[in-house]
Amino acid sequence: MAKTQERSRSRRQRVLDAALATFAERGYSDTAIDEVARASETSKGGLYFHFPSKQALFLALLDEMSQALLRRVTEAMAAEPDPIARGEIALREVLRAFGEHRLLARLLLVEAVGAGREFHARLNEINAAFADLIAGCLDEAVARGQLPPHDTRIAAYAWYGAINQIVLRWLATGEPARLEDAFPTLRDLFLYGVRGAAKDGRS
Amino acid sequence: MAKTQERSRSRRQRVLDAALATFAERGYSDTAIDEVARASETSKGGLYFHFPSKQALFLALLDEMSQALLRRVTEAMAAEPDPIARGEIALREVLRAFGEHRLLARLLLVEAVGAGREFHARLNEINAAFADLIAGCLDEAVARGQLPPHDTRIAAYAWYGAINQIVLRWLATGEPARLEDAFPTLRDLFLYGVRGAAKDGRS
Amino acid sequence: MAKTQERSRSRRQRVLDAALATFAERGYSDTAIDEVARASETSKGGLYFHFPSKQALFLALLDEMSQALLRRVTEAMAAEPDPIARGEIALREVLRAFGEHRLLARLLLVEAVGAGREFHARLNEINAAFADLIAGCLDEAVARGQLPPHDTRIAAYAWYGAINQIVLRWLATGEPARLEDAFPTLRDLFLYGVRGAAKDGRS
Amino acid sequence: MAKTQERSRSRRQRVLDAALATFAERGYSDTAIDEVARASETSKGGLYFHFPSKQALFLALLDEMSQALLRRVTEAMAAEPDPIARGEIALREVLRAFGEHRLLARLLLVEAVGAGREFHARLNEINAAFADLIAGCLDEAVARGQLPPHDTRIAAYAWYGAINQIVLRWLATGEPARLEDAFPTLRDLFLYGVRGAAKDGRS
DNA sequence: AATGAATGAGTCTTCATTCAT
DNA sequence: GATGAATGAAGACTCATTCAT
C-alpha cells in the first residue's frame, strides 16, 4: 500500500512538475497533453488516470502552486507580531519566491491569466487570498492605530497589482537583475503612501 | 478609388470591431476565425484579405486599441503643465476609459496576457509605453524638485500594475460599481507614497 | 452557382455513397470517419463541412435510404386501387429493393438497429412509416369489407417483422438465392393468415 | 476448493449479471469494461480473469441468455404432444419471457444485432435454433397431416421475425402494455395464415 | 475584392488490455 | 485470484489557412 501510494504520489507529482514546466513555458493552449506526458515520462493514458482532463490538470497545478506560495508567505509572517512589519515580510517573501522560481511566476502571473474563462473564478480566488493577506495586515494596523483608516481593500489590491507588475517586468526584461532588489523601493512606496494618505485624513 | 478605399477601410474596421468583441469575450485561443468573420459579416476569405493571419489580426487589434488609449490619455494630459497634476489626469483618464469600455479592459489586461509567446514582445512595448507616461511625469516632477529623487521606473511600473489590478478586480467582481470611484484612493496611495518614500531619504 | 451547387451536391452525395458502403460493411461503431472520408475521396474536414458529426452523417444516411425505399414502394403501389393487391405490390417491391441492394438491407435491418440509443427514435419512425404503409392497406381492406375487422396495427408490425427476418436470413445464409422467390410463400402466409384469423371471429 | 469454485462461480455470475444490465442498457460499443467491472463490484483485472476479452464476455452472455430462453421454451413445450398446440405454447412462452425480462429482450433483439461482425455467426446460430423450434412443430404437423405441405423454413423464420418485431415495438412504444396480450392476435395470424396458405394448395 | 468549400495536421480524450504487486 | 495503475493505439472533431471561381 505504502509503496503503491508512494509510487502513485511520485507519478502524480512527476506529472505536476512536468505540467508546471510545460504550461509555464508554452502557455495553456499551446501546450499539448502529449508534451506533458512526455515530459513526465508517462503515457497519455497514465496522465489521464491521475487527472481527468487538461483543464483539471491545470487547475490542480494552479491550486498546488498558489497554495504552496501562500503557505510559504504565511509561515514567514507567522512569527512577526507587528502588522506593518508582517506586511514587509510578506512582500519580501513573495519577491524571493518568485525570484527563485521563474516558472511559478510565469504560471501564476502570465499563463493563468489568459488561459480561458474556465479559470477566471479560481484565479480570482487566488488573487483574493493574496489580497486578503495584505488587507489583513492593513486592517490590523488600522485597528492598532498604526495606520489611519482607509479603504484597505483597494489598497491591498493596489499593492498586490504593483508587486505583480514588478515581477512581470522582471520576467520580461530581467530588471532588476535580482528581483529582491526591488524590495526597498516597493516597501517605501507602499508604506509612506499609506501613511501619507492618512496624514491629511483623506478618505 | 476613394470609395473603394473607404469601403475597404470600413470593412477592415468592421473586422477589427468584431475581433475586439470576440477576442475580448472568448480569448485568443478559443476564438475561431470563423467567429470573427461571422461577427463582422464578412467571409473568411475576406478577412484574410485584410489580415494575413489570425496572429496579425490580434496584433493589429492590440496596436489599434492600445494606441487609441494612449492617444486619449496623452491628449487629456496635454494641457496640464504641472507634472503631478498630469499624472493625476492620466490616472483618472485611464480609469474612465476602461470603465467605459469593458472589452478594451478585458482585451488589454486579460486576453492579451496569456495569448501566447508571440505577443509578449508587443505587450511589453505597450506596457513600457504606459509606464513611460508615468515615469515621464515622475521624472519631470523630480527635476522640478516637486518630488525627491527615487527609482522612477520601478515606481512607474508599480503604479501601472496597481491600476491594472484595480481594473481587473472591477472586471471580476464589479467593484467598485463605478471604476472611476477608485480614483481618489489610488491617487492618494500613489502621491503620498512617492512623497513619503522620499521624505526619509529611502535607501 | 449551379456549378458550385452541383459540385457540392456531388461531394455530399459521394460522402453519402461512401458512408452507405462503409457503415453497411463495418457497422456504425467500427467505422472510422477517416474511412468514410477516404472512401469518398474527401478530406476529413471536407466531410465535416457537409455533416456536423458522425451521428448526423449516419442519421442523414438513414433518412436518405429509408425515404428512397419508402418512395419506391409508395410509387409502385400508387396505381393499384385494390388494397390487398397494393399490399402484395408493397411486399414484392420491398423484396426486390433489398434483393437489389444488399447494402441497403444491411444498413436498415442490421447496422441501424444496434447503432446506439441516439438512433432508436429515428429508427422507430422509420419502422412506423413502413408499418403504416401496411396498416393502411389492411384498414382500407377492412373498410371495404374485403377483410374482417382485426388488430391491423399488430398485424402490420407482424408482417413487417416477418419480411425483415426473411431478408436477414437471406443476408446471413444467402437463402433463398433470389430474395424475391420468397414472395409467394410470404404473401400466402400473410393473406390467408389474416383472412383465416377473421373466419372464426377472433377476439 | 468447492468454496473457491462456488465463490468463483458467483463472481462469474455477478459479472454476467452486470454485463446483461450494462450491455442491454448502453449497447456493446458504448459499454466500457470498467462499467461492467464496477457494476459487478469487481476489478477490471478480476473480470479479465474470468473472461479473456470484452468480446468473449459478450459472447458468453449471449450464449447464456439465449440458451436459458431456449431451455425455458423447450421445457414448456415438452409435455404437449400436439405440434400445433406446442407451437402456441412456444409463442406464449417467448412473449412471457421477454415480457418479464426487458433486458433480455433488448440484449437479444437490439444490442446483439448491430454489435459487430464478430457476433453475426453466433447470432445466426441463435436465430436458427429458435426457427428450428418452430420449424420442428410445423414439420411434425405436416407429417401428421394437420397442416398441408409448405415451405416450413420460410414460415418458421417469418413467424420468428413477426414475434421479434412485436417485441421490438413493445420495447420502443410500450404497446401493448402487457406483451402477452399480443398472443391471441399473433397466434391467429400465424395459424390461419399457414392453414389458409395450405387450403388452396398454393406453392 | 470576396466567397466558402476544401484541406490535413493537430488536439483532447477513451478504452481494451496488460502486469507488477 | 484479485487489484488498479499504466499503456498506447485509435478515434472524433477543430480550425488556421488556401484557392478556384
| A-interface mutation test, from B58, B165, B187, B190, most A Cβ less than 10 A away | B165
- How far apart are alpha carbons D185 and C26 in whole angstroms? 38
Asked if C172 lies within 8 A of D115 by C-beta distance, the reply is no
- Res C72: pLDDT: 97
Q: Which three cell numbers stand for residue D144?
A: 401428421
Summarize the confidence of residues B8-15 as an average pLDDT.
81
CA distance B18 to B51: 13
Model pLDDT for residues B128-172, shown as the tens digit of each residue = 999 999 999 999 988 998 888 888 888 899 999 999 999 999 999
Of the partner residues C28, C29, C192, the one whose CB lies closest to the CB of residue D193 = C192
Q: What is the pLDDT of residue D200?
A: 36
Judge whether residue D76 has pLDDT over 50. yes
pLDDT score recorded for residue B21: 96
Residue C7, pLDDT score: 54
Distance, angstroms, CA B89 to C1' F13? 51
pLDDT-based confidence at residue D10 (cuts at 50, 70, 90): confident
Whether the pLDDT of residue A157 is over 80: the answer is: yes
Contact D185, C150 (CB under 8 A): yes
Provide the shortest C-alpha distance from residue C6 to chain D (in Å): 35
Long-range contacts of B95-102 (CB under 8 A, 24+ apart): B95/B163, B95/B166, B95/B167, B95/B179, B95/B180, B95/B182, B95/B183, B95/B186, B96/B179, B96/B180, B97/B69, B97/B72, B97/B73, B98/B167, B98/B170, B98/B179, B99/B170, B99/B178, B99/B179, B99/B180, B102/B24, B102/B171
Distance (Å) from the alpha carbon of A142 to chain B's nearest alpha carbon: 15
Considering only residues C194 and D7, tell me which one the structure prediction assigns the higher pLDDT. Answer: D7
Average pLDDT over residues C140-157: 87
The predicted structure's pLDDT at residue C10: 85
Q: How sure is the predictor about A193, in pLDDT bands with cuts at 50, 70 and 90?
A: low
Grade residue B9 by pLDDT with cuts at 50, 70 and 90. low
CA distance A52 to B15: 38
Span C179-189, average pLDDT = 91
C135, C201 contact by CB (below 8 A): no
> From the alpha carbon of B34, which nucleotide's C1' atom is closest?
F15
Which of the two residues, D2 and A74, has the higher pLDDT score? A74
Is there a contact between B185 and A151 if contact means CB atoms under 8 Å apart?
A: yes
pLDDT of amino acid A127: 93
Asked whether C190 and D199 are in contact (CB, 8 A), the reply is no
Instruction: List pLDDT tens digits, range C97-139.
Output: 999 999 999 999 999 998 999 999 999 999 999 999 999 999 9
How high is the pLDDT of residue C180? 95
> A164-173, C7-16, D116-125: which has the minimum mean pLDDT?
C7-16
Residue D7 has a pLDDT of 57
Instruction: Read off the C-alpha cell for A188.
Output: 517605501
| Residues (7-46, chain A) with CB within 7 Å of strand E atoms | 31-34, 44-45
Q: What is the per-residue pLDDT for B196?
A: 40
What are the b/e assignments for C157-183, b being 16+ CB within 10 Å?
bbbbbbbbbbbbbbbeeeebeebebbb
Q: Which residue of C has its CA nearest to D107?
A: C114
Predicted confidence at residue C45, as pLDDT, reads 94
Question: Mean per-residue pLDDT for A133-156?
Answer: 88
Cβ burial, residue C71 (10 Å; 0-12/13-18/19+): exposed
The pLDDT-based confidence of A1 (bands split at 50, 70, 90) is very low
Are C57 and C51 spatial neighbours (Cβ–Cβ below 8 Å)? yes
> Using 50, 70 and 90 to split pLDDT, how confident is the model at A201?
very low
Distance between CA atoms of residues D93 and D76, nearest Å: 7
pLDDT level of residue B72 (50, 70, 90 thresholds): very high
Q: Cβ distance C104 to C65 under 8 Å?
A: yes
A152: cell is: 484597505
pLDDT at residue B193, as a whole number: 55
Mean pLDDT across chain D? 88
Per-residue model confidence as pLDDT tens digits over B17-65 = 999 999 999 999 999 999 999 999 999 999 999 999 999 999 999 999 9
The secondary element (H helix, E strand) that includes residue D191 is: helix D183-199
pLDDT (tens digit, 9 = 90+) per residue, A40-55?
999 999 999 999 999 9
Contact list in A for residue B166 (CB cut-off 8 A) is 154, 157-158, 161
Which of A120-129, C104-113, D37-46, D185-194 is the least confident region?
A: D185-194
Distance in Å from E3's C1' to B43's CA comes to 6
Strand E interface, D 24-63, C-beta < 7 A: 30-34, 44-45, 48, 52-55
Single-letter amino acid code for the residue at D142: V
If you average pLDDT over residues B113-120, what whole number do you get? 91
pLDDT of residue C169: 96
Q: Which residue of chain B comes nearest to A163, CA vs CA?
A: B158
> Which of C29, C166, C188 is facing D157, going by the closest CB pair?
C166
Provide the pLDDT confidence category of residue D8 given band limits of 50, 70 and 90. low
Q: What percentage of chain D carries pLDDT values higher than 70?
A: 90
Per the structure, the residues numbered 33 to 92 in protein chain A that have their CB within 7 angstroms of any atom of strand F are: 42-46, 48-50
pLDDT interval class at C9 (50, 70, 90): low
Q: What is the sign, positive or negative, of the torsion defined by CA atoms of B74, B76, B78, B84?
A: negative
Q: Per-residue pLDDT tens for C50-101?
A: 999 999 999 999 999 999 999 999 999 999 999 999 999 999 999 999 999 9
- Whether the beta carbon of B106 falls within 7 A of nucleic chain E: the reply is no
pLDDT at residue A71 above 50?
Answer: yes
C198/D13 Cα distance (integer angstroms): 47
Among all residues of chain C, which has the CA nearest to that of D30?
A: C116
Interface test with C, best of D138, D154, D173, D190 (most C CBs within 10 A): D154
pLDDT of res. B194: 39
Mean of pLDDT over chain C:
88
pLDDT > 90 in chain C, percent: 75
- What pLDDT sits at residue B197? 32
The region of weakest confidence among B13-27, D24-38, D134-148 is: D134-148
Residue nearest to nucleotide F2 (CA to C1'): D46
Judged by CB atoms closer than 8 Å, whether chains meet at C166 and D173 is answered as no
- Which segment of B8-12, C143-147, D192-196 scores lowest on mean pLDDT? D192-196
pLDDT tens digits along B166-198: 999 999 999 899 999 999 889 888 887 534 433
Is A194's pLDDT higher than 50? no
pLDDT for the residue numbered B51: 95
